[in-house]
Structure 1
Amino acid sequence: MVIKGIATLSGATALSLLAMAAANAGGFSRGTADTDILFEQGNFNARTSVTVVSPERKIVSGPSNVGHDYADSYVMPSLAAKFRISDNLSCAGTVANSFGAASSFDAPRAQAAAFPYTMYGKLDETFTVMEYAATCAVGFDLDKGRLSVIAGAYVDDFDYDLSVVIPGTGGAPTRLPVELGGTAWGWRGGLAYEIPDIALRAQVLYRSGTKIEATGTAAGGLGYAEGEGKLPQSVEAKFQTGIAPGWLAYGSVKWTDWSVNKTLDLTTNLGFSSQNRYYWRDGWTIMGGIGHSFNDQISGTAFLMWDRGTSTGWDLHGDVVTLGAGLIMKDGFGELRLGGGVSRVGSVKEDKYGDGSSNYNYAVGSGWSVSGLAGYSLKW
């Protein structure tokens, strides 16, 4: 049986996943490599997009910055290009902002001197991980459908910026900037099964974790700084199928090994050290959606996503529920993609930093995050 009218839905799942990933899902997760492009028809395909995210995380209690929204907006680029080398082999190069975080404070974020490495007031902190990857799929025709083996390698490029206030001479505080950079290699692999006539595709994809060992400068180059931390491995299972003429259903389940993220350690030769404490639990993300082809030029999609918060009392990452939608519009050259999402981010509080008169725990209330995506794709 062939389900007709779903050709214009090609890539609808990829669009929804990009919008979903933009909405603060899963610890430091941001975007994912667009490896779905490996399954697009054509000898050459290219997709690019930009997603803008505006989160809200307002401090409702704590030793400083009460009432302040510390979460900064950010922009996520994504680029993918696929080459069909033979009937059974396709390879793609991808660029994605895989992980990141950005925060800033009106006043130095008060910390507890009783906890090692955290006695310095944080003013702003940003880190970004860009993934540059090459991935290939080798296909094998079966009696019914097609099986593909997916394998590839990537490099994570890590950039970190921190600005803190440290005790100075005569009681005057001193602003100290720190800049770090580093790279780490990883790999991904998986399997996919397709029945193109009904737009069915089932896929399992593994991404390895990495350990970041970064070096840089402190105090505008006057000092030396180094830091280290771990980024998680993950396994994602995705499924899509045509369910009626012009209709597509899809969903995914993703496990992320965020429990490896215990601390981010920073040291300098200026007598200043810092340690962010996380001690997260593993993350789970579940998403489902529907796509519909309105005609040969326009199709749309809507999805719902839930992500389990990773916090265990050491920091402030709660549950996220996201509702998103997107449009795919064909023109004479390619496809224009527009999408957006609205997320409800749950409240969460710390409970590991003392109590009573020595309470340095923070809490944030529930808030909203909005995201918008614009992209374009070509094939020939």
Structure 2
Amino acid sequence: MKHVASAASAACLFAGIAQAGGLERARPAEAILFEQGNYVQFSFSQTDADVSGDYPAFVGGGSTGDMSDATRHIGFGLKMAINDRLDFALLMSQPYAADAAYGQGFYEGLTARWNSTAVDAIVKYNMSDRLSVYGGASLLTSSADITIPVALGNIASDPDGPALLGGGPLPGSIVSDYSASSSKETDLGFILGTAYEIPDFAMRVALTYRSEIEHEFDARETYTQLSLPGGVPTFSPVSTTTDTPVIMPQSVTLDFQSGVAPKTLVFGSVKWTEWSKWQVKPGAYESETGGEITSFDNDTFTYQLGVGRQLSDQFSVFARAGYESKKGGESSRLSPTDGYTSIGVGGSYTMGKAKITAGVEHAWLGDAESGTPTDFSDNTATGFGISVGFAF
């Protein structure tokens, strides 16, 4: 049962394949805290989403083309048993990402990138063989850049027309492509959790809280401004650096697993993430448009449920289903899907002190409507992940 429990824990590698709520693409592997003894793990995953939409007739119709590039993520985990009571884990992950690029139609030229790296240091104290508590610090580094084509600004300047990326009406003063590039910022959050286990049944329930982390970006904004001094049109290039605070959301995750029959395990998770507080609102853009570049209106709930089966002393397999409910409302052009349903399968092979786990997952992404309005429907994502772990 030990090997199938490890394979089930490794299923968190594939959390990003379905493009979980907001910008979340990969989850830190906190389950390494429950490995026996000392353990080190390296992981890699890739997601290839096919996301496109159909423009309305009044902006020319046609398709947006595939606007979502493939994303890749690497991860690292080290767990050390300090003594019988105390464990320490060091984790590296790339939890948030966006890679949007529109290549045709009305949105052509709209691009956005979000990059992040998190390093977590966590200490777990085993109060008994069943109850443990853990906590630590999470150091998050993020950066972003975006380009908004002038065509979007022109249509948004009509107060009765669609809004730009969820922002307010544009008064018409931005008359060239707008671009913003952020500084790279590193800020600190914290992690708290507790777990209850019954080892004889491979049963564990763990509750983990991650705090929000606020970045104070310096955003370099560039565009051309139209003004009318004395009624004479004047075009002025603008390049300015403004303060742009962005809150990366807090979350609560409930993970569970339990043996239900010899060599068979059921596992899953429920996660709440407060994406409703996330928005990107550079200072110059806000003063020109009265709104933010992009935001998410609602929090997300993500559910996973799976089953694992030990086939031999070396080989275990698992299957998993995922679901995220639709939030409704207008979707961001940077992430124009709403909820998902997914199915994934994988396996784990143990060779002495080494363990290789791999899996694939396919997701059906929920339909959404962005601000033009442009309808995004029948979109999917497929991904795979692999991890290699060593006990020492």
TM-score range, shorter chain: 0.7 to 0.9
> Residues 109 and 102 of structure 1: is their aligned pair in 2 closer, same or farther, counting only changes over 3 Å?
farther
**Identity among equivalent pairs (%):** 22
Contact (CA 8 Å) 1:324, 1:341: kept in 2 or not? Answer: yes
Contact (CA 8 Å) 1:56, 1:367: kept in 2 or not? Answer: yes
Q: Which residue identity does 1:92 align to in structure 2?
A: A
1:131 and 2:118 correspond: yes
Counterpart for residue 375 of structure 2: 363
- Tell me the CA shift for residue 366 of structure 1: 2.0
Name the CA distance, whole Å, in 2 between partners of 1:272 and 1:157: 29
1:373 and 2:389 correspond: no
- Tell me the CA shift for residue 362 of structure 1: 2.0
Name the CA distance, whole Å, in 2 between partners of 1:265 and 1:84: 44
Counterpart for residue 348 of structure 2: 328
Aligned length: 349
> Residues 266 and 108 of structure 1: is their aligned pair in 2 closer, same or farther, counting only changes over 3 Å?
farther
Matching of residues 70-109 of structure 1 within 5 Å: 70-107=67-104
Counterpart for residue 4 of structure 2: 9
Deviations 1:214-255 (A, max 9, x none): 1254569x7535432222111111111111221111121111
- Tell me the CA shift for residue 87 of structure 1: 0.3
Counterpart for residue 166 of structure 2: none
1:199 and 2:186 correspond: no
Deviations 1:140-199 (A, max 9, x none): 12xxx51001111101111102233459xxx99557462432122111111101111211
Name the CA distance, whole Å, in 1 between partners of 2:270 and 2:47: 23
- Tell me the CA shift for residue 330 of structure 1: 1.4
> Residues 33 and 146 of structure 1: is their aligned pair in 2 closer, same or farther, counting only changes over 3 Å?
same
Contact (CA 8 Å) 1:20, 1:324: kept in 2 or not? Answer: no
The structure in which a higher percent of residues are strand is: 1
Q: Which residue identity does 1:89 align to in structure 2?
A: L
Residue from 116, 138, 144 that aligns with 1:154 = 138
Name the CA distance, whole Å, in 1 between partners of 2:384 and 2:277: 31
Counterpart for residue 349 of structure 1: 369
Contact (CA 8 Å) 1:98, 1:129: kept in 2 or not? Answer: yes
Q: Which residue identity does 1:365 align to in structure 2?
A: S
Q: Which residue identity does 2:27 align to in structure 1?
A: T
Counterpart for residue 50 of structure 2: 56
Name the CA distance, whole Å, in 2 between partners of 1:192 and 1:227: 37
Name the CA distance, whole Å, in 2 between partners of 1:218 and 1:173: 12
Name the CA distance, whole Å, in 1 between partners of 2:331 and 2:33: 40
SS state of the match for residue 48, structure 1?
strand
Q: Which residue identity does 1:7 align to in structure 2?
A: K
> Residues 12 and 109 of structure 1: is their aligned pair in 2 closer, same or farther, counting only changes over 3 Å?
farther
- Tell me the CA shift for residue 12 of structure 1: 1.8
Matching of residues 221-236 of structure 1 within 5 Å: 223-236=240-253
Name the CA distance, whole Å, in 1 between partners of 2:191 and 2:180: 35
TM-score by length of 2: 0.82
Deviations 1:322-366 (A, max 9, x none): 10011111124401111110000011113xx5xxxxxx2222112
> Residues 310 and 266 of structure 1: is their aligned pair in 2 closer, same or farther, counting only changes over 3 Å?
farther
Counterpart for residue 309 of structure 1: 326
Contact (CA 8 Å) 1:308, 1:319: kept in 2 or not? Answer: yes
Name the CA distance, whole Å, in 2 between partners of 1:164 and 1:260: 23
Name the CA distance, whole Å, in 1 between partners of 2:329 and 2:185: 28
- Tell me the CA shift for residue 19 of structure 1: 1.1
Larger mean Cα displacement after TM superposition, 84-93 or 210-219: 210-219
Name the CA distance, whole Å, in 2 between partners of 1:206 and 1:109: 41
1:66 and 2:78 correspond: no
Counterpart for residue 245 of structure 1: 262
Contact (CA 8 Å) 2:91, 2:120: kept in 1 or not? Answer: yes
User: Root-mean-square deviation (CA), in Å?
Assistant: 2.7
Contact (CA 8 Å) 1:137, 1:148: kept in 2 or not? Answer: yes
Q: Which residue identity does 1:373 align to in structure 2?
A: G
Contact (CA 8 Å) 1:15, 1:326: kept in 2 or not? Answer: no
Structure 2 alignment gaps of length 5 or more:
154-173, 224-238
- Tell me the CA shift for residue 99 of structure 1: 1.4
> Residues 21 and 279 of structure 1: is their aligned pair in 2 closer, same or farther, counting only changes over 3 Å?
closer
Name the CA distance, whole Å, in 1 between partners of 2:240 and 2:254: 46
Q: Which residue identity does 1:361 align to in structure 2?
A: P
Structure 1 alignment gaps of length 5 or more:
1-5, 111-120, 354-359
Name the CA distance, whole Å, in 2 between partners of 1:238 and 1:208: 17
Name the CA distance, whole Å, in 2 between partners of 1:225 and 1:377: 44
> Residues 109 and 138 of structure 1: is their aligned pair in 2 closer, same or farther, counting only changes over 3 Å?
farther
Contact (CA 8 Å) 1:161, 1:180: kept in 2 or not? Answer: no
Q: Which residue identity does 1:12 align to in structure 2?
A: A
1:339 and 2:359 correspond: yes
Contact (CA 8 Å) 1:250, 1:288: kept in 2 or not? Answer: yes
